[in-house]
Structure 1
Amino acid sequence: MSKPVFRKLPAHTMGYVMPLILSIIMSCIVSLISTLKSTGFSGFELPIWLGAWGLSWVVAYPVLLLILPLVRKLTSFIVETP
């Protein structure tokens, strides 16, 4: 077996890493769609989108950390646990 490229983080960090990755991906997609809708394809400029993405992510990550426990509880009311 080959060694992993990097050392994995401990399991207890999952509650921070998962929202981090989710917020990066979601804010990227949402800010791109929003930027394209407001500027159009012909007016699209990478720096404008990156600024929107950065601002979106700065908001998205803390919000995810705050609401994730509530979302887990709401999900447990809807989804049967094994």
Structure 2
Amino acid sequence: MIPRKYENLLFPFLMALFMSCIMSFVITVMNAGFVNHLLTIWLRAWAGAFVVAFPTILIVGPMVRRLAAWLLTDEPKTLEASE
């Protein structure tokens, strides 16, 4: 297995892989429909999408984490009555 020290690279890699796969397929079908050679068209689109997605996630990911942390708040702790 892969050592945990590579988690900061593995997570963005897998996220980019799956998201670019799904999004490129959906967009390819929306634009071209179910045509002959759809697989070839989609794989080419997926390769291009992944090349952009992986570095984008590496760059934008930390900013998104900070933005999410800024937007979130802890729920106030309430005392619940004992029954």
* Fold similarity call, TM over 0.5: yes
Gaps of 5+ in 1: 1-7
- The residue type paired with residue 15 of structure 1 is N
**Which one-letter code corresponds to 2:10 in the other structure?**
V
Map 1:1-82 onto structure 2 (within 5 A): 8-43=1-36, 45-80=38-73
Identity %: 34
Q: Which has the larger radius of gyration?
A: 2
Deviation at 1:68, TM superposition (A): 1.0
What is the TM-score when the length of structure 1 is the normalising length? 0.81
Aligned length: 75
Post-superposition offset of 1:10: 1.9
Q: Which consecutive residues of structure 2, in runs of 5 or more, have no partner in the other structure?
A: 75-83
Deviation at 1:46, TM superposition (A): 0.7
**Superposition TM-score, scaled by structure 2 size:** 0.81
